[in-house]
Structure 1
Amino acid sequence: MTTYKSTYRASSILLLVLFVFTMGQMAIAQTSQQRLQISENNKKTALASFRSNLISEYALERTKLKEVAKLNNWKIKETLANGKKIELQGIGADGSPLYYETYSDEAGLVSRASTLNTDGLMGLDLNGDGMNVGVWDAGIALQHHVEYTSRIAIGDENSEVDTHATHVTGSIISTGLKKDARGVANKANVISHDWTRDKIEVAEAAANGLLLSNHSYGIKADRVPDWYFGAYTKVAQDWDKIMYNAPYYLMVTAAGNAQKSMDNDTPTYGKTADGFDVLLGFTISKNNITVAGANSKIDNNGNLKSADVSAYSSFGPVDDGRIKPDLAGNGGSVLSTDAASNTSYETSSGTSMATPGVTGSLLLLQQYHEELYGAYMKAATLKGLALHTADDIDAEGPDYKMGWGIMNAKSAAELLNNKDFTSHVAEESLQNGDSFSFEVTANGDDTLIASISWTDVQSSVVNTGELNSTTAALVNDLDIRVTKNGQTFLPWKLNPAQANSAATKGDNKVDPFERIEIPNASGTYTITVTHKGELINDAQDFSLIVSGVLMTTCSIDAPEVALEQAEAAQVTLNWNDSDDALYEIQYKEVYQEEWTTEYISVNSFIWKGLSLDQTYSFRLRTFCSQNIASEYSDVATFTFMGEETQLETLSALSADSQIPFNVYPNPAVDEIQLNVKTSDTAVYRIMSTSGVELKMDAATNSRINVSDLPSGLYVLQIQDFDVNKSTKFYKY
């Protein structure tokens, strides 16, 4: 077996400089060029061939459906007494009618996505602007609802407008004209389809660069025999095949509302009334995300205070013991758009309503990753990120009720922002017979968490009638291990025979996502990824996600500048060195408005071309990763006097500059006031805590408007001639 070790350098200077110069020009929408780039990574021939097969199968199935339905007096479409629409979509291997139904009952929208929005806690201004998401449902959404503002395209023009589809679509993209009905990604675009040809249409859309689709429906539980529950059937195989051949595409589906249905008389665990083993159809796919419903309470800072599974939400396990559902969306009634008119709204619930909240959150995370790094994540990375950062509930580890826990878009976004500083995200590939290793150092403050996620090949073995078959659907079985000083840490796993018991740690042989947690970690650890048996197709791509680590020893304290040497027409400035750092240097004549900016990787700078008796200013900050920077140093000011040049200190400045600098009120709501006088040339800057400039203007009076800033912590800098001061404030 060949072992290859990933080597890492915390700051890639060239990439970082390119990023700093181009970040203002980076597109955050999903452009046609980006969709083309995604498309080029797809297995186009395999997708085209598979789509052609699906079309042929669909034509034969529709003919057979009509014949068998007529023979058995089955209705093709039906509206139930509760208003729910169902439709005959297939015939199982044993001849059972497979009806699709929507999953509306009693649930809600995912939490924490709002922290990423324009007015959210993190101030990231993420709203899905220009991003595309597919919605397949019982029908199409009401296209001209006022909340959609022309951001919906109809994929099936002759389909019926459907209330459920309209509600789901609104949960993702509603503008928020009615505030409580605002969608998670309220500037995104939806392509709306009915469910009739879902696999065919998704295969085509994924081949053309679609990143995400929402499916808040599934097989009706009371019309199939017991062996269907938890079984890896052809429909799960088909969806896995689509996702494997389109590695950037991720399907998000509702778990269903069958917990109390009493439909499975022979579950893999417990009694029928316990509610386990009621997942069906494509919810059992390996590569998708299946969403449960939950009731939860979130505080004003986006922290989960309490949560439990909703009373209706379908439980796993699936027959081979995989962890399903994967995640849970926030429970509660959801106000969204309704199809009664272009201005109507309705409250609805169910895992159908939890799912679009998760889908919208995942779309925002794709948007954020593109904004930070100029590219979208593979589906395995996106799924792994969501499962890695989910809020664990009650007992440690995953469970068969809510998977890895409540979706936490805030934690996921923070992990992305801290990449190469306190976290690591990488898309790797394991060749047949090889192993992969990677060393990390725990940061000593947080639990060290290491995860691998991969889009697995569809299984060639599908269930056609065996009750509670334990045959694993996993094909390429990767393994992650973390070691230190002879001790090996293992991933979480669940036992379907003890479905209500807490997770244990051991060799996980069934899940295409594995996560290891090491509380109170300290020192250096080695992460190793291997595989069992032979890899189908001789290789397996995987995503590695690590948090709670120190990827660099770089310090984000503001540097202290000193004048090392002065000679004819130049000075040499230096500052305290920081390992693996990139320095952003800004310098100018003191009365100039604009700074000249350079980037270097050493802790000294020779400033040439100076003139006698001219006064100059200099400041710098440290970049420890692409997104993590220190505050600027105090401005170093000097009048060039040849070899006699000296930096001026605060004690040499005016008495007014010695007044302690702060702002009030702090926290602020609409404006802040300064406690120092400023001249007519004074300038203020408001920065994020990671060093990104958000606002700059003249500070000609003591009041500064902050009403347009999202809630959060900020740094205020005042530059007034040769005086530079900074302080922090919080904006409600």
Structure 2
Amino acid sequence: MRSQSQELKSLIKEEYDFSKIGSMQVDLEFDYEKNRAKTLAVAKANNLKLKEVLPNGKKVELQEIGQDGSPIYYETYADNASQTSRASALHSNGLLNLDLDGLGMQVGVWDAGVALTTHQEYDVRAMIGDGSTEVDAHATLVTGSLISSGIKRDAQGVAYRANVLSHDWTRDKIEVADAAANGLLLSNHSYGIMPDRVPDWYFGSYIKVAQDWDNIMYNAPYYLMVTAAGNARHSGDNESPIFGANMDGFDLLLGFTIAKNGLTVAGSNSKIDRYGNLKEASVSAYSSYDPVDDGRIKPDLAGDGSSILSTDANSDTSYDVSAGTSMATPGVTGALLLLQQYNEQLYGSYLKAATLKGLALHTADDVDAPGPDYKMGWGVMNAKRAAEVLYQKDFNSHIGESSISSGETFEFSVKAKEGETLVASISWTDPASEYINRGELNNSTPALVNDLDIRITQDGKTFLPWKLNPKNPNAAAEKGDNLVDPFEKIEIPNAQGNYTIIVSHKGNLLQDTQDYSLIVSGASFTECRLNAPSGLAFANAFVSGISLEWDEITDGLYEVQYKNEKEETWISNFTANGSATLSDLVLSENYIVRVRTFCSQNMASEFSMEYKFTFEGINTEVGVLDIFQTLGVDNSINFSVYPNPAANQISLLTEVGESAMYRIISASGIELKVGQVGTEPIQVADLATGMYILQVKDGDSYRSTKFYKN
């Protein structure tokens, strides 16, 4: 597995227009210096504090003077007060057993100060990125939630072997623009504008700070900003919300939390079962609601921010518990980092930010009424499901990065998986809007520049994406023409048959083109079936080899493995046809051969039965090693383990009862392991390389499957 190396960063940078990025960086630096001088002058003239620590321990700093003259203060979004994240399903001992931990990956953290980089949980993986010297407790908590190694088990971070570049927030836009231009994929911002020190028109407004962040992400399309929604729901700070009374909690998001291209995180209280399924979820009592004034869906999704144990800045061995959207945000950021690591592991590249954001929203767990809402956006982050969609690419899912030109329409035909929900979504990094609000209360001017559309049709019927009504934020989501969001999603429950997905746009596109990402799940993208090849037979023999044939499977790619029975290592070849040549064979030596079907890059059947033969040239005969048949393996039952082949552990991909027992049997029929199927993976590291049977007794039923131990 490669890390986020300079080579991979260089591949990202090759796609960037550095003339535009350079011009943007100059503008940001100029604006900062100009505004900083103005900020210091206004502070002096009005006896304003530049920094202060509130009685509750929260840090506040005067960041700039708004265009209307309002002083804009940054504050941290956490309260003193531990974390369940389905990103744990991606860890080595998780439900998917993917061994993802963030090793070699890098994430930026901007906060009120820098983290205590010497903390025992970080080793040497936390570094100061901007020369700041002010160590901050909040930054240390956030950094721990991301990368703590787990010396204290309950404080382990989501990406517990990743690296953090820690910065203070003073020059956040300038520093992020430079880091993004150099290949940074993600940054975490668990802070925002202080809501009780700005006029009401600021709430929900697309102002210059949101425009600047959108511009950064548009010019560095692999970079995604992840920010906290804030904890102001019961503050009553907005006396003139777009809907309801000030204590209803709506219309409270500010500044960069409203940027179109970033991902804004709400807090949730969630209950997850041992299979990673969401059983209950509700928005946290503190988490700020939206809508944005133009009706966009914010926050984007929710993470668990309830009483999180993490690293503390008092000493290298101290810990503290905190709660708030500040703590929900690094849980989501860390999960997104693991998904980038997984995509690179599977496909050798990183996802563009629009794809990563789209994947998170596409796979989030819906909460309450169907569709999004203005409380938790598209639902609760589900890193497990997102990883499954990545893994099943070109088999049961589609993930495509493309572009559309002015006047162009894209059509894509799919076949639904019967009985499942067909889900299709588009996501794009939109150009920064030229419009910014300069003081008008609840101005509904859309910030969206390029309005892309997705539709699904079948037999004359058109299915539309979700949308929300900002004039009634409590109402359930509707289906219709979404005019404001740079993410659109269509869901068709119990889909059957063939559908056509259509991507188009309205009006003229800025610069006549727009990149976008299309994600589809709940469909079949190949006629291939995950069945081991049958009908294996030898054809022609020659001096040092022999031809093997089998019954072809539609759209199948085949892996043929063979070895001398005295050897441990298999020789592996791939072919798109129902035949292969086994070469370099030695007369009178015994060999074993097996074949399996690949239906996509990752989706493979189990191997066929192993066939043993003695190579005697044209007189070669074959025999089946049928121990698996005698032990009752039934490949027609939907019962399997993951990963297969396995290295250290296997996990069931089928739900069983709490009292289910397992046993592992060798190819010669010897029982090797017995135990109860629990929530933890089954350890197989002590088994020798070879084929085994896992048999599970669940009540009165027995189910078996084969797995191969590397």
Q: TM-score, length-normalised on structure 2? A: 0.90
2:141 and 2:582 mapped to 1: Cα distance?
Answer: 62
SS in 2 for 1:628: coil
Equivalent residues in 2 for 1:584-663, closer than 5 Å? 584-607=559-582, 613-640=588-615, 645-649=620-624, 660=631
What one-letter code is carried by the residue in structure 1 that aligns with 2:510? I
For residues 187-198 of structure 1, what are the structure 2 equivalents within 5 Å?
A: 187-198=161-172
Q: Does 1:52 align with 2:26?
A: yes
Q: CA 1:136–1:716 in structure 2 vs 1: closer, same or farther (change >3 Å)?
A: closer
Q: Contact between 1:588 and 1:618, CA under 8 Å: does it hold in 2?
A: yes
* SS, match of residue 21 in structure 2: helix
Structure 1 residue 76 corresponds to structure 2 residue 46: no
Contact 1:630-1:690 at 8 Å conserved across structures? no
Q: 2:75 matched to which residue of 1?
A: 101
Q: Distance in 1 between matches of 2:371 and 2:629?
A: 54
Q: Residue 66 of structure 1 corresponds to which residue in structure 2?
A: 40
> Is the Cα contact below 8 Å between 2:83 and 2:309 reproduced in 1?
no
Mapped contact 1:108–1:293 kept (Cα < 8 A): no
Equivalent residue, structure 2, for 1:350? 324
Q: Does 1:474 align with 2:437?
A: no
Question: Hey, what's the Cα distance between the residues in 2 that align with 1:619 and 1:636?
Answer: 6
Number of the residue aligned with 1:214 = 188
> Are 2:404 and 1:430 equivalent residues in the alignment?
yes
Contact conserved, 1:478 with 1:531, CA < 8 A, in 2?
yes
Deviations 1:675-719 (A, max 9, x none): xxxxxxxxxxxx9646444259x9998646999x99447999999
Residue 294 of structure 1 corresponds to 268
Distance 1:459 1:606, change over 3 A: same
Q: Which residues of 2 match residues 329-348 of structure 1 at below 5 A?
A: 329-348=303-322
**Aligned residue number for residue 134 of structure 1:** 108
Number of residues of Structure 1 aligned to a counterpart in Structure 2: 674
Report the Cα offset of residue 642 of structure 1: 5.8
Give the conservation status (yes or no) of the 8 Å contact 2:648–2:684: no
For residue 328 of structure 2, give the secondary structure of its aligned residue in structure 1: helix
> 1:613–1:152: structure 2 CA closer, same or farther, 3 Å change rule?
closer
Q: Which runs of 5+ in 2 are unaligned?
A: 634-639, 650-665, 697-704
Among 694, 703, 714, the alignment partner of 2:647 is 694
- Give how far 1:596 is off: 2.0
1:145 to 111, 119, 124: 119
Structure-2 residue corresponding to 1:315? 289
Would you say 1:372 and 2:346 are equivalent positions?
A: yes
Letter in 2 for 1:623: F
> Contact 1:105 / 1:351 at 8 angstroms: preserved in 2?
no
Q: 1:115 to 1:512 in 2, by over 3 A?
A: same
Match of 1:406, SS state, is: coil
Q: Which letter does structure 2 place at the counterpart of 1:83?
A: G
Distance 1:106 1:414, change over 3 A: farther
Q: Distance in 2 between matches of 1:351 and 1:107?
A: 13
Q: 1:75 to 1:116 in 2, by over 3 A?
A: same
Cα distance in 1 between the residues matched to 2:86 and 2:520? 21
698-707 or 592-601: bigger deviation: 698-707
Partner of 1:238: 212
Following superposition, the deviation at residue 573 of structure 1 comes to 2.7
Give the stretch that moved more between structures: 121-130 or 584-593: 584-593
Structure 1 residue 567: Cα displacement: 5.4
What is the rounded CA distance, in whole Å, between the counterparts of 1:354 and 1:587 in structure 2?
50
CA contact (8 A) 1:717 1:727 kept: no
Stretches of structure 1 lacking an aligned partner (at least 5 in a row): 1-25, 663-686
Cα distance, 1:100–1:567 mapped onto 2, change above 3 Å: closer
Aligned mate of 1:176, from 133, 136, 150: 150
Q: Equivalences for 1:666-677 in 2 at 5 Å?
A: none
Correspondent of 2:420 among 446, 455, 472: 446
Give the drift of 1:647. 2.5
* C-alpha deviation, 1:109, in angstroms: 4.1
Q: Specify the SS of the correspondent of 2:647.
A: strand
- Alpha-carbon distance in 1 for matches of 2:385, 2:134: 39
Q: Structure 1 pair 601/107, CA: closer, same or farther in 2 (3 Å)?
A: farther
Provide the rounded CA distance (Å) in 2 between the counterparts of 1:459 and 1:186.
37
**1: distance between equivalents of 2:555 and 2:57?**
62
CA distance in 1, matches of 2:465, 2:643: 33
Shift of 1:560: 2.0
- Name the structure 2 match of 1:670: none
State the alpha-carbon separation in 1 of the partners of residues 686 and 51 from structure 2. Answer: 65
CA deviation profile, 1:560-618 (whole Å, cap 9, x unmatched)? 24325355656543222111111111123333333222111111234467666543321
Note if 1:361 corresponds to 2:363: no
Q: Which residue of 2 aligns with 1:412?
A: 386
Counterpart-to-counterpart distance in 2, 1:612 and 1:89: 80
Q: What is the identity, as a one-letter code, of the residue corresponding to 1:57? A: D
Q: Which residue of 2 aligns with 1:157?
A: 131
- CA shift in 2, pair 1:568/1:233, >3 Å: closer
Does the C-alpha gap of structure 1 residues 165 and 640 become closer, same or farther in structure 2, counting only changes over 3 Å? closer
Query: Is residue 667–residue 693 contact of structure 2 (8 Å, CA) maintained in 1?
Result: no
Aligned-partner Cα distance in 2 for 1:639–1:373? 39
| Residue correspondence of structure 1 range 381-420 to structure 2 within 5 A | 381-420=355-394
CA deviation after TM superposition for structure 1 residue 446, in Å? 1.9
Q: Which moved more, 1:44-53 or 1:338-347?
A: 44-53
Matched with 2:554 is: 579
Cα pair distance change 1:710/1:621, threshold 3 Å: farther
CA contact (8 A) 1:162 1:339 kept: yes
Letter in 1 for 2:123: T
How many angstroms does 1:448 deviate by? 0.4
Q: Does the alignment pair 1:272 with 2:225?
A: no
* CA distance in structure 1 between the partners assigned to 2:509 and 2:41 by the alignment: 43
> Shift in Å at residue 724 of structure 1?
6.3
- Residues 80 and 649 (structure 1 numbering): CA distance in 2 closer, same or farther, change over 3 Å? closer
Query: Counterpart of 2:442 in 1: which secondary structure?
Result: coil
SS in 1 for 2:52: strand
Paired residue type of 1:317: P
Residue 489 of structure 1: aligned partner: 463
1:257 aligns with 2:210: no
1:675 aligned residue: none
The CA RMSD over aligned residues, in Å, is: 2.7
1:247 to 218, 221, 244: 221
Partner of 1:16: none
Say which SS state the counterpart of residue 227 (structure 1) adopts. Answer: helix
Q: 2-side partners of 1:83 and 1:161: how far apart?
A: 14
Higher relative contact order (CA 8 A, sep 6+): 1
Helix, strand or coil at the partner of 2:414: strand
